[in-house]
Amino acid sequence: MVAVGGSAGGVEALSAMAAGLPEDLPFAVLMALHVPSQAPSVLADIIDRRTAWPAVAARDGMKLEPGRIYVAVPGRHLLTHNHRVMLSDGPTESGHRPALNAMFRSVAKTFGPRAIGVLMSGVLDDGVLGLAAIRSQGGTTVCQSPEDALFSAMPRNALTAGVVDHSVAAADVGALLGRLARRADPGHRPVPDPYLDIENRIAMSHGFGPTSDGDTLGAPSGFACPDCGGSLQNAGEDYYRCHVGHAWTADALLAARDGEVDRALWVAVRALVEKARLAHQLADKSALPELSERYGLIAEETDRALAVLRGRLTAAENGTRLPHD
């Protein structure tokens, strides 16, 4: 079984990989890409036009057959169970469903040494922990070479984490898989992974159902889940889950916090604009000089605060730092 996933720049990478797949490769391929849950499901059609292999949108319960590509659909994790496709609305991971970590772990659990994970172009680090799970069960891991990727962060993070066996250009993945199919020994000895079963059960669970494994993962981290606001627990090194199952890597959590801060700052801008406007109106309409002066001072103070905040937001958008940052 081959599981391949990507994020930003992934359509191009997955297409190039699919075009290079040997026709006689004795594997089934699971393929996932980060897409919004409400996006149209067109990736299977794109891939199908680029390869001699039939590529289909995955349906729950489909039997896995060699020589076919099963493409994840928006809003569902793409998993395997009893050598069949399983689509799950389990908790998001790093804000994604489908999540690459969930797919890779599922393949590791089901296929062990016969699993191959391929991580392509993308940002942040979804898929890195999943590749580690494949290796822990004796499988083989591949990533697109960062120089070949439109967005190199995802494969580069996998290489930095030391969880990659082979790094090749997207167009060369097919040839590499052909060589791997002919090898006698995967080269990794399976080692126990106490969290693999727990993580896989969470991914297979209902997205709005109770997660009984949530209390077994680790101590409270002191951070809150961006998805639900619940307490995050330490589920590994720089990896967290909340009580209802949402999972976050440290990099993804940091990126989510950036979004929260940005939204909060723009709320503050709106509040200051309205406060300044009201203060100016009251100062202009007041018949008493002392009240007009008081409202005028409030308006001036608010205008100064607004100018500072807007300056910081502009600097942040431009990637620069102000002198007192």
pLDDT one-digit tens code per residue, 126-159: 999 999 999 999 999 999 999 999 999 999 999 9
CA distance 41 to 103: 18
17-33 mean pLDDT? 95
- 126, 148, 165, 172: which is the annotated catalytic residue? 126
Per the listing, tokens 């069960």 go with 137
Residue 208 pLDDT exceeds 70: no
- Quote the percentage of the chain above a pLDDT of 90: 63
Per the listing, tokens 């499901």 go with 41
Residue 321 pLDDT exceeds 60: no
Q: Write down the pLDDT at residue 306.
A: 84
List, in sequence order, every beta strand (DSSP E) within the chain. Answer: 2-6, 29-33, 55-57, 69-71, 77-81, 84-88, 116-119, 140-144, 166-168, 220-224, 231-236, 239-242, 247-249
Residue 246 pLDDT exceeds 60: yes
Give residues with Cβ within 8 angstroms of 184, minimum separation 6. Answer: none
Question: pTM of the full predicted structure?
Answer: 0.82
Q: Write down the pLDDT at residue 324.
A: 40
The CA-to-CA distance between both ends of the chain, in Å, stands at: 50
Based on the residue annotation, tell me whether 213 is a catalytic residue of this protein: no
CA distance 231 to 225: 6
CA distance 135 to 259: 33
Q: Would you say 60 and 85 are in contact if contact means Cβ atoms under 8 Å apart?
A: yes
Nearest of 172, 175, 140, 146 to residue 159 by alpha carbon: 146
How would residue 207 be classed by pLDDT, with cut points 50, 70 and 90? low
Domains of the chain: 2-181 (3.40.50.180), 209-250 (no CATH), 252-318 (no CATH)
Nearest of 18, 3, 7, 30 to residue 172 by alpha carbon: 18
- 7, 94, 106, 121: which is the annotated catalytic residue? 7
